[in-house]
Each structure stands twice: as structure tokens, then as C-alpha cells.
Structure 1
């Protein structure tokens, strides 16, 4: 900071952190020198640490409590914490030789048991402070008014306050004081885990949408958080990967800040140790931008937005640096974490933000997707971009979940897979487990049931987990099942964790769902019976993959609407021990695959197809991707692969069409390389596929006819309005007018994309749709702007009169100031598009919105 006149006061609870760590013994002959050498050092904690972090982040002098560390003797009534340090790899990879010290074990606190720990006064406190930062760890500061900064207690002083709160309750004295006198300028910072510790039910590490919506629901409905709803600014960090900013300062809005390639808890691996002070470091990033905003008279909301980004960056860099390679010699915190460097692994520009949907409608909450709000283009264009340029380029603003070779942006899949991942992680880390972890997976044949779960498991513990498959439809007797259990047991005895797929577990065995009852004991007790012997299975993950049911709901009969059918199903289901089987499951996944599962709710199928198609190209025909990462694929082939209504065998059909195409020596996937219609028929509706394939050709050959029909309808409309005979026919008009009409038709597909429509070639005359007034205005504005650009490129300029010789035209102005009669003429032309396209066997089809609630008016 250049201006050194700004005054910052930092205060709060006080703690001294004692760090201990071991190194190799000293070289010598004395007995003690044969043991590890134990080092210890004292470091500032709580408000003392926060003041140092703020000083490093802002490069400004800080008014705060001070303490002399030189004599290493502190009053017993002062709070102390003790932590054991260890060496951990910087990256989290055990083979990484670059190691720093972080916390290995937090041993606890020591301090006065019967009274408030000793607090320290602010040295040279100043009532005119511009920024007050409070570290309330609920260790006595919030009830000790004599230690509060003067700027808070002095009348008529209005500093900006950052209140870092550890215990989210609205009854402490400090909060009541801030609420009464400083609420307008107070920014409350609370860690998400501190909210959860108070029983606030916010999902963890499933999807950013789910976490954000849970938070908003809790804030709106949980009585214990009602005091926080009064905050003008509330910031809740979620791990080191994201944060939510809730505003109630006249604008009611909540905004999610997130990293697209990480979810809450992803950044810190179990093998990397831990660090205290992460929230303080986040607060330092926030404070840095608040100070910048004060110096530059910036809007507080803008300062907070940038501050959240810097807080995430600083806290991640703080964790990576840890206590350094030598905690005694290195200064902590290291000032390098607050400076942007060439080798940084994270930049604030990578952190995206989106306004969170605020609705109590459960359907609306279920259909909110960040991909919709972060994209100004429709899903079809996103899908084309994914295939052409890859996910990294097309989806750089969208959360992407990665599990080994599996990538998904579908919120439903992300939440399901991450739920399974969390279950597996918890299971692997649990000692002395006596029963397998049981998970069910459903999906249509070819949707990728085995692939998805395998990739999730492999991404967790690739060296530990070993996959083994059994297809129950091929087993004939119970002895076959026992033999399968023996193979699982053998793997477990080898020290491996078996990932056991029981394919088609819902197939018949003597009766419908006849296998279920034979899994109850292995699932519940971890044993199987063979004659009079009982054998333990050992630690294993059972994955039950459905063969006859494509969804969990279908397996349970929840999709049956007829009451009699439902009762009959439940009698059979209970007889087959279905409810007992379900009670032993710990999770399930519905694999969506490349086909649309629901016309109203599943709009991301085209993006799933695009990601699968891009993956197939990269794996099977990588020579079709040039040095810039661009896939060489014909637009017609791309459209047909993405927009055909259904693949008969899901992902297997997409893969088969590629394998049947002659691409070995091809430089581009041209239409001529596709298999014949007879072969395509095995996997898609070949007629529909061909019409998507040839759409550009169909449209191109009819452009002049479409232009003529549009021109003639417009001329007839003008004649009717003016009560005159139509002027020149198409064959007699000037070339300039003819070319303008043809050019307009060429751009109809682009224009329709602006209002979320597409053109589809069909066999018969399509029904004629009617544009809304809003859609007509959007199309008119687009068409007018396109016409103006075309005219200007040809050398035309604005003039009060149209003159072909001097190239002047009175309509060369912005749409907003175009005279109403000229606007009407443009819109009248656009009105004819549905009719003339339908006559030429082109259907105008609505590109689906992600939000069913918006389409059907269900938003609150």
C-alpha cells in the first residue's frame, strides 16, 4: 500500500502456540544423544497471529496487542496450545522429496481452568481507526469490553469492522454491541465447519450447487441462524476452495465463489498434515482489499468480492508453505504468500462466482445448475465447443468433477459420485471393519455403470483396490456364489481391498430378485455360510449393478403410479427381502449415460454426450486433434452425433459408430467416412441421424427459395397495408435487394440461437410456431445490427436520405433509436420465418433450458 495514513486495529482472544518436532539425534557419545532431538518454538496465535498476517498482507503498521517472545516466559493464566509437527510433502504425493513442516498432532490447550484466559490491551489504541479486525475465538474477549478497540466504543465512530467469529451465537456482548452500533459496516466471517458444529445441516463436498442451496435454506429457515440473517455482509468460507458472501445491505443477494476444478476439502490431502490460522489468512486477504477500497473510495461490495478471491489464494499458499523447512529459522507467516509470483499454483482470476438461486421450492433447488448461469450460450453450443476444443477450454468457468479418467459437469452425477467417494474414503480409513461397504449402481446397458464406480475407487487408492466381477445372471447355484465369496476373501487376505461388482444382481434366481436374500448376511455381518462352516469375507466394497432396473427408484417400485400395481409390487418386493437389502446399502448411483432420461429435467444429456465424444476421440483417434487441441470433425457429423434423439446401446453405440468409421488414416472425420445406413441402424435411427448430418446441405440448397418466399410475403404485407398492388416480383428486383434477402436467410440459424431456438430438418411440413413479442424484438435487434454491420463494411454511412451513389442510409443507427415504423418493418419480416421454414420442411425447435422451473413459471 502506498498510502501509510490508514489506521488498522486488530484485537481479540490471545493464545501462544508451542510447536514441538523431532530431528535426528546429535552426534556424540553421551546417552541422551542416541535419542531423537526434540525442538520447540513459540509462535503467535489467535489475534496475535492475525495481526501479523494483516501486517504482511497490507504492508501497513498494525495497532494491536503486543508480546515479547524473547524471554519465552509467559503468564500461566495466558492460553497456550501445543502441537507436534512433522515433515510432509508439499504436493501430498508421498514420493515428493520437497517437504515442509506442518502439524502432525494437535495436543490441546493449557490455561486457567477456573477463569477467562489472560487478554492483552491494544498498544497505542486509536479511536479514529479506519478498519477494526476482531478475532473472537470465544475464549473471553467477546465478554470483556475493557479490551475492545476504542473505535467500537467511541460514539459517532464508524470504522469498517471485520468480525472473525468462531462460535456462531447471537447472545454474546460483542455481537450485541456490533449489531446495535456498527451493523452497517460490519463484515462477519465464519468458517462453514463452525456452523456445522452447531448442528447446521450443510452438505459437504458433494457439489457447489448443493452446498450453496443448503446454506441459503438454513439461513432462511434455521432459527439458530436468525441473528446472522441480519448481517449486512456475511462471509462463509468452505474449506480452502470456495466461499459464500451473503448480502443484506439493501441488496438481498448471496454469491458463491468457487474453484472449478476443486470442491470443498479437495485441496488438503490426508498425507499433508494440517495448519492452524487458515481462516485468519483468509481474513488477511479480505482485509487487504478492504484497505484498498477505503483508500480508493471503492464500493464495499466490490472490495469484498476481490477480498474473497485473495483470501482463498492466500490461505492455499499459506497451507502449502506450512512452517517451512526449519520452523526455528523461518519467519511465519512468510510474506511471499501475499505476493503474486511466477511459479504460483493458484491465481485469483481462477476463482469464479455466481449468484445463488434463492428459493424454497424443492424442485427449483434441484434444477439449479451453475453451468446455466455461467454460460451466455445455449447447451448445444457448449457441447459443440467441448468436442471441438476440449473441456478445459469450453468449461473453464464451470465446476468439473474428475475421478481418474471420468469427468462430469452434471450436478446429479457429481453429487452421486462424490457421495460414493466420501463413503469409500471413510470406509478405507476405518479400522477393524467387519462388514463390506455395500453400494448399488443403476443405469441402462451401456451407460457406463462399471466404468464410473471403478474410476472413483481407483482415484482414491489405486494401489490398494483390486476389481473383481461376477455376473449373477450366469451363476447357476449357491455354490457358484460361495465360490465367488471365496475369491473375494482370498483377495482380502492378500492385503488388497476387493472392489466386487455383482452385475445383474436384480436378475431372477428361482424367483424374481431371488439372489437378494443370499446377500443379507454377507452385507450385514461380513460372513458367508458354506455347509456348517461360516467364513469371514474381510474388508471389501460390494457394488451391486442393476441389470433389469435402470434407476434406484425403478428397483424400489417408486415409479409405479397405479395403486394396485404398486401394492402388488411391494408384496413381491418384501417377499424377496428387497427392503432388507436396501437397508444394508450405504449409497447408490443412477448413471445417466448419453441418452436423455427425462424430457423436462435432464437437459445436460447433450453435454454428457459431448464429453464422451471428446474422450473417445482423444483415446481412439488422437491424430484427429491438431497441435492447438482442436478436433478435426465435420460439423454435420458433430451435429448428428450430439443431437440424434437416442443411442440404442448408450455409450457403446457412440463408440461403435466411431470404430465403424474409416478414421485410421483420416485427417478429418468427414461424412464420407461414416458407416453405411444399414450399419448405423444398429445403433441409431439412421434416417434421423442422416437428416442432422445433411442439415447444412438441405438448408443451403433452399436458401434462395426461402429468400424469395420471405421477400414476396413482405411485399404482399406492405401492399395490403398501403392498399396497393405488390411492387416488383422476385425475378425483377435489384441484385442489391436480392443479395440482402439471401444474406438474411443465411443468418437465420444464428439469429434463432439468440432466443434459444434451433432449426431441424424434418421429413414432412412442420407445425408453425409463433414468436413472443420479446423474441420478436430480440430477433429484430439482431437482424438490424447484422444489416448495419454489413452495410458499413460495404462503405455505407448514415444519411438523412437513402442514396445509392453516395452510400447513405437513414437506418444506419442503433436499434434503440431506430424510428418505430422502421423497427416494425424489420419485425414484420422476422414474423414470416416460422411459416416459410415450415413450408420448406424445417422445424423451429426450442433449445431446452436447464431450469424446468423457469420454463414452467414455478420460481418463487
Structure 2
């Protein structure tokens, strides 16, 4: 097979690297800085690809590098200053460098053609040839050379790595309609344009940065077409938009296909860099090289190539630039490590078709990636408790982590990340005043824990001193003075004060929220009064916890209009002191559209069980009875939120236990302290259906049963039996049996990875119209086992004759011993589920949207 020609053209500019001598380097100038020059752009991509050329059957045609022969004589694009990163193994053969500062110079790039392209006929062209065009900021000083080359090249794929300004200039005009062909036309399907989200933002497209992947998708769909001058870019056949090393959106502008989001569920834009070495020169080039490696000369492989390109860029971000131990060694990329065999599981990246129709129409304001990727939040919650948030099934859920705090709800994630961005900027610069963040939420939502964990995570590596001020236990403002002195002392000693102020909205008889007034001066001016003298507090993070308002909006609406007698200007002054707020949702259901409360609760429950009894966990899996799990996860609310959930776990008999069984739970009278015990027991018994749905299903199950029994042929005596009567004449015991059957349907559906839900919550999913024979067999066997258990619990016994009057049945046998005709009764009953549902309910399959 002839090799695939990979031609690299465009910008191959020179950067100057400034880096320190290594510790212990035995030279007289060991404390001085060293410099070297290196090429980036097309030359660096060529370097990456050359490492895998043999394995990929590539013939690399790197840039000719027109201009001065010696790199030392060429114009410089930027100066990169590095410092030594101190996390290397002492036995390592190199030192890792971390980029400290970048300075761009006034520079105009020279278009560099590929080797052997001066006369294009010298290349043995194939249909799979790949041309990589590395754009430059501004313009080339020889664009005519580029235009001539692009008009005459005939690659199978043209990868155009676009640089600002976007979609402008004669070069773009030459190729915006696609690759030129021998027939004088252009083929748009062969053109792949790669651009960064930051470059789109610079052109005026409003894409939020680092909040949530759902918000990123919404902004992309709503804002991509907001700048008319970019129409040729937005409508190109293959547009690849990178969001740092954390995600990619693949947009097919020439088709009606949904855009595809590639994302890391544990990171948001910019987070992978923060967790590793920060910005690393060459990340974009590594992405392009990774993409080309897996294109195979055809855009048909582009979806997989994008995923692996993201992995290449992440490898480079994690490894950075390194320098050998010899004094003559210069900074280099670990090319073989970056371009070695890519394994998707190395840095798990997930794909999601973006619901552009839903976003564009605004028909579902509550859509989430969790819903699109998994489907049933309750099943996700069960998996989180049993296997942890990082298990294979749960790993697709976008999360945000701050220390031990794990967030899974999109709205909480966005709120926390907005505030964390503000705090990160505050922490990074010298400060003389505190910063103030308010926390709102229902009782027991974990405000104090969440605030403290976020502060600890953002201040990682610093000397933190934690302070707690409970204004519900303080009677006068003078009681605050000793605490403010301690905060001030902490600053003088080089520490970083982390202060949680509980109850800033405490009501005091005869006065309306007095603490707002007393806190305003320390928050705004960073000072407090002691014996008539004003003293500075210094830097500090103030977290202010509300005890009377569930959301900031309710706080603002109820107090802004003086509904409690507060002087509006004073209230506005307090609001002006805040630098942000967080609305905590907590573990309870907060509204009819809150489908994710079981998942939020599951994260908390997993940690509580871990601490309560380590023996419950074996090989990472917690052993817990399904009914207990349903009760703890699905009951809508606890009386005191997290505190009540924690108390129930503490009250359960789990010391030394290897399994959390139902018998370990406290009795109902004790449970009622912390939860509505009647409601809790209903969920414990698997009764998760609304009463109207339960009754509808029970009646229709009985109708289907009668249809099947009549088709089998019944004697007059059989027809008179109590269990064979119409629903309105059916004895209550048999009605309850049908209701128990209905109650068990959600649990049975989980056995075949399906779930029952309202249509309005899953309009994007295709409902299950019929089960496969294998699924019917699983459901039927489970239904017979359930029926056996129900009858045995009601003191029925096995007999050769069935007689309901004395509670005997000949069918009270194992599934394998049941006659086929009676097995078929169960099979037909379970097969009828999709057809007997209420009009607004459907059965769906778990997993990603098909």
C-alpha cells in the first residue's frame, strides 16, 4: 500500500524560550537564565507526526522553512519564560518546566510550503493525502504563494488550523468553499476547520467560560450564528471548536446533523490545565497531530480522530516541556509520550449529540447531560451509592469537585463555578480587604460544609486558619471584636483566614436584621472598630450563611421592599458588599422538575456509609439492600436535610455489619423524628408510583390477566372464582395483589435496563414499544418470584388444587417447575406493560439517547 502523504504548510514561526539553570548545575552561571530558540506551528506538528510516520504509513512533507537558513537569524514571534516545576521524581532523567509568562512581539509570518511542493508533481499523490495548513495571527507576508499552492493541491483532506482574525483574508476566500478539484470545482466535504473557543469569543460570539457543559452547549447553539461576518466559517462542512484540553464541539454546518460534544465529565474548560502545568506551548499542535494520525486520509474517520486528538493534547498538557540533566540540554517535548498509542480509557472522554432542537426551541429548560447520557436519575443514584461517583456507569455524569464536596446538579455546578472563578482571582492577587460570598439554601442543605470545602480546595497548599462566627448565639456587636482580632493576627502571621458567618439574616426581636448593618463596614472597608479606633482586618474569605432564606432571590425580593421594616438603602448597601452568592439545593426534592435530587443525595449517602461502617464496602462496592436504598434515596425530603439523613445512618444497627439490611433501620417511631415514616416506608416497600398511575396499571394488569385466562378456556366454576371477576366486583385482596404487581414494575424494569417515566420529561427518547423475547423471559421469571413471595407472606400454601377460600394454590412452585401454559400467563402480562400505561407515561431504555 502506498504511503499517505502528509503535507504541512503555513506558519512555522520561531519562539525564544527563557529558562533557569537546573539546581546544582556546576557552572559559574548556575543562577542565570538560559535561552534557546524553537519552532512551533507547522514545524512542531511535523515533529509530532514524524514520530508515528512508520506506524501510520505516513510520508511527512514538513515545511521548507523559507527565510534565513540559521534559526538564530529569523524574526521571533514570542518570548516564553519558564520556571522549574518541582513535582518531578528525584530519580527522573529530566526536569519539567512550567510556563510563567508569554510576551508576544510584533511579527509577520512567512508562508512556508511543504517539502517537494515547489513542483507539485514530485509527490506521488493519493486520494488519502492530508494537507495541514497552520494559519497565523494577522496575515502572511507572501499570501500569493499560499493561494497558488492551495489552488493546485489536491489532498483528500485539508485540515485548516485557523488563527485570529477568523474567516478573513484572501487565503480563506480561496478555500472557504472547499478543496479545489481537477474539474475546477471545490469540494466542501474535504475541508476541516479547527478553531479555539477563545478565538470565537474574541470575534464577539458569547460563549460562557468554565460553568457547565450544558451551558456551553446552550451558548454554542444560541450564539454561534450571532456574528454575521463569520457565516462562511459557521456553515463550513466540518467545524471543530476546542475548549482548552477539556472538550470539543464538532459542528457540521453543511448538514442538519446535531453537533457533537466531546467532554471530560470531571473537568470543565480550563480545569485540566489548572490541575496540571497550566498553559503549555504546543497543545494546539498536539491536537492537530493527534487528529491527523487517526484520520486515515478521510473525513469519515473524523469523529474518532477528534476524540483521540483531545487525548494527545491532554498528554502534552500533563507532560509539558522538559529539560535533560546535562547543562547543554534544551527544553523539549516528550514527543514519543505524546504520540504513543492512544488508549481512550487513559483520559475518559464522552460523546453527546447536542440537543440543538430542544435548546433552540426552549422546550426543556431542565435538560441535563445526566438525563441524556443515562436516563433514569434514580438508577444513577443507586449506582453512585454502591460503586461510587467514579464507577463506570456514573463516570459519564458531569461533576464539579471542591475537596470532598462533589456536585452533580447542573445549577449547583454553575453557581459554584461562578463563585470559584471570583475567589480564584481574589486569591491570586495581593489583597487588603475581605471578599464576601453569601450561601443560601433549605435547612440542612450543607451550606457550611460546602463553603468550607470550596475554600479549602481553592486555598490548597496555603496556610489556612478557619473561623466560625454564629450570629444566632451572639447578642451584641462587641462580641465580634475578638474574632476580628484573631483574623487580623492570622494575616500578620502569614495565614489565610477562612471565615464562616452563620445567620447573617438572624431576626432579633424589636430590630430587623441588625447584623446586616454591623457586617457592612468589615465587608466593604475591611475594618472594624475597637474602643473607638478603626483597625484593618486584612485579606480573608467571608462566607455568609443564611438561615431564613432558601435562595438569594427570595432574600432580595422579601427584604428589598422593606417588607420587614429594613431601610432599603441599608439593605442595598449590604448587597453591594457581596461578591457573589450560591443557592444550595441540598439532598431534598425542591420542586416538580427536580429529577436529580436522588443523585445529589446519593453522593452524600455514599460518604456517610463509608464513614459509618467500613466493612460494608468490599472491593469498592457497598453492600446495601435494594429496598433500603430506595427508601433512603427516593423519599422526597427529610425533616432536617443532611442532618436527618446522617442521624438515620447513625441510628441504624451497622456496627461490624457487612450488609445494610432492612432490619438494621430504626423502627418507624424513631424514623419519624427525621422523616415522614409513612412516606419512607412506602418507598421502602417499592411503592414509588403515584396513586393514580398505580391504580391505572393495577386495573389494566387485571384486564390482561382475564383476557389470557379466558383464552385458555375456563369452566363455569372457574369463571365464578373471586379472582376472575371484573375490577369493580373484585375482592380487595385480589385488587391489592394487582397493585403490588404494579408497584413492582419499576423494579423489574431495572433488570432489563429500562425505566418508567412521564413523557414530558423524556420527549427526546424513543419509548419502548415491545420487549425482546429475552427481556420478556427475565421479567416473567421475576414476576413469578414476586407473586410467590406475596402469596407466601399472606400465608398461602402449596396444594394440588387451587382454592382461594383456604389460601391454597398449585402454582406456588419455582419458575422452572411451573407448567408452560402458566409461564405464558406471566409472559403475556409482562409483555403488555408498554401498552397498558397511562397516556402520559412511557417505558424508556437507560443509557445515551439513541
TM norm structure 1 = 0.78
Q: How far has the Cα of 1:696 moved from its partner?
A: 8.4
Deviations 1:80-118 (A, max 9, x none): 433333321457x9999973134333344365xxxx444
Tell me the residue number matched to 2:654.
663
Contact 2:613 2:657 survives alignment (8 Å):
no
Q: How far has the Cα of 1:273 moved from its partner?
A: 5.5
Contact 1:257 1:351 survives alignment (8 Å):
yes
Q: Structure 1: which 5+ residue stretches go unaligned? A: 295-299, 735-740, 760-768, 792-806, 813-821, 836-843, 855-860
**Does 2:48 correspond to 1:53?**
yes
Aligned equivalents of 2:688 and 2:399: distance in 1? 36
Q: How far has the Cα of 1:422 moved from its partner?
A: 1.6
CA RMSD of aligned residues (A): 4.5
Aligned equivalents of 1:5 and 1:248: distance in 2? 31
Tell me the residue number matched to 1:22.
20
Q: Structure 2: which 5+ residue stretches go unaligned? A: 180-187, 725-737, 782-818
Aligned equivalents of 1:15 and 1:730: distance in 2? 93
SS of residue paired to 1:612? helix
Contact 2:135 2:160 survives alignment (8 Å):
yes
From the superposition, tell whether residues 617 and 47 of structure 1 become closer, same or farther in structure 2 (CA, over 3 Å): same
SS of residue paired to 1:244? strand
Tell me the residue number matched to 1:513.
513
1:85-124 to 2 correspondences below 5 Å: 85-89=82-86, 99-109=95-105, 116-124=108-116
Tell me the residue number matched to 2:733.
none
Deviations 1:394-445 (A, max 9, x none): 31222222211111211111112222222221111112x2321110001122
Deviations 1:97-156 (A, max 9, x none): 973134333344365xxxx44444433113757221111122433871213463x2128x
Tell me the residue number matched to 1:350.
348
Aligned equivalents of 1:173 and 1:348: distance in 2? 41
SS of residue paired to 2:131? strand
Tell me the residue number matched to 1:538.
538
Contact 1:389 1:630 survives alignment (8 Å):
yes
From the superposition, tell whether residues 675 and 118 of structure 1 become closer, same or farther in structure 2 (CA, over 3 Å): closer
Tell me the residue number matched to 2:157.
160
**Does 2:381 correspond to 1:383?**
yes
Q: How far has the Cα of 1:650 moved from its partner?
A: 0.3
Aligned equivalents of 1:830 and 1:19: distance in 2? 66
Aligned equivalents of 2:372 and 2:142: distance in 1? 44
Tell me the residue number matched to 2:523.
523
Contact 1:647 1:654 survives alignment (8 Å):
yes
Deviations 1:230-253 (A, max 9, x none): 121111111112111111232332
Q: How far has the Cα of 1:727 moved from its partner?
A: 9.6
SS of residue paired to 1:582? helix
1:217-228 to 2 correspondences below 5 Å: 217-228=222-233
1:246-265 to 2 correspondences below 5 Å: 246-265=251-270
From the superposition, tell whether residues 102 and 69 of structure 1 become closer, same or farther in structure 2 (CA, over 3 Å): farther
Tell me the residue number matched to 1:455.
453
Q: How far has the Cα of 1:181 moved from its partner?
A: 4.3
From the superposition, tell whether residues 4 and 334 of structure 1 become closer, same or farther in structure 2 (CA, over 3 Å): farther
Aligned equivalents of 2:414 and 2:77: distance in 1? 41
Q: How far has the Cα of 1:604 moved from its partner?
A: 0.5
From the superposition, tell whether residues 63 and 468 of structure 1 become closer, same or farther in structure 2 (CA, over 3 Å): same
Contact 1:104 1:273 survives alignment (8 Å):
no
Tell me the residue number matched to 1:479.
478
SS of residue paired to 2:384? helix
Give the aligned length: 761
Tell me the residue number matched to 2:794.
none
Q: Select 2:675's aligned residue among 675, 684, 707.
A: 684
Contact 1:42 1:69 survives alignment (8 Å):
no
From the superposition, tell whether residues 189 and 371 of structure 1 become closer, same or farther in structure 2 (CA, over 3 Å): same
Aligned equivalents of 1:520 and 1:756: distance in 2? 52
From the superposition, tell whether residues 6 and 506 of structure 1 become closer, same or farther in structure 2 (CA, over 3 Å): same
Q: How far has the Cα of 1:469 moved from its partner?
A: 0.8
Aligned equivalents of 2:470 and 2:140: distance in 1? 64
Contact 2:755 2:843 survives alignment (8 Å):
yes
**Does 2:262 correspond to 1:266?**
no
SS of residue paired to 1:668? coil
SS of residue paired to 1:216? helix
Which stretch of structure 1 is more off in the superposition, 471-480 or 364-373?
A: 364-373
Aligned equivalents of 1:773 and 1:276: distance in 2? 44
Aligned equivalents of 1:191 and 1:363: distance in 2? 27
Tell me the residue number matched to 1:590.
583
Tell me the residue number matched to 1:340.
341
Which stretch of structure 1 is more off in the superposition, 580-589 or 120-129?
A: 120-129
Contact 1:457 1:465 survives alignment (8 Å):
no
From the superposition, tell whether residues 661 and 306 of structure 1 become closer, same or farther in structure 2 (CA, over 3 Å): same
Contact 1:500 1:541 survives alignment (8 Å):
yes
**Does 2:617 correspond to 1:625?**
yes
Q: Select 1:170's aligned residue among 167, 188, 192.
A: 167
**Does 2:637 correspond to 1:646?**
yes
1:360-759 to 2 correspondences below 5 Å: 366-375=365-374, 377-393=375-391, 394-431=393-430, 433-462=431-460, 463-509=462-508, 510-557=510-557, 569=563, 572-575=565-568, 577-600=570-593, 602-626=594-618, 628-695=619-686, 709-710=702-703, 713-714=706-707, 728-729=718-719, 748-750=745-747, 756-757=755-756
Deviations 1:152-197 (A, max 9, x none): 2128x46411111110422211111112343332111112222233
Aligned equivalents of 1:366 and 1:322: distance in 2? 40
Q: How far has the Cα of 1:848 moved from its partner?
A: 12
Q: How far has the Cα of 1:71 moved from its partner?
A: 7.3
Aligned equivalents of 1:245 and 1:550: distance in 2? 39
Q: How far has the Cα of 1:374 moved from its partner?
A: 0.8
Aligned equivalents of 2:749 and 2:779: distance in 1? 18
Contact 2:66 2:112 survives alignment (8 Å):
no
Deviations 1:767-786 (A, max 9, x none): xx9xx999999465358951
Q: Select 1:786's aligned residue among 764, 776, 783.
A: 776
Aligned equivalents of 2:46 and 2:164: distance in 1? 20
Q: How far has the Cα of 1:513 moved from its partner?
A: 2.1
Q: Select 1:43's aligned residue among 25, 38, 42.
A: 38
Contact 2:63 2:112 survives alignment (8 Å):
yes
From the superposition, tell whether residues 427 and 697 of structure 1 become closer, same or farther in structure 2 (CA, over 3 Å): closer
**Does 2:228 correspond to 1:238?**
no
Aligned equivalents of 2:362 and 2:486: distance in 1? 45
Q: Select 2:210's aligned residue among 205, 210, 213.
A: 205
Aligned equivalents of 1:538 and 1:777: distance in 2? 60
Which stretch of structure 1 is more off in the superposition, 217-226 or 277-286?
A: 217-226
From the superposition, tell whether residues 69 and 85 of structure 1 become closer, same or farther in structure 2 (CA, over 3 Å): farther
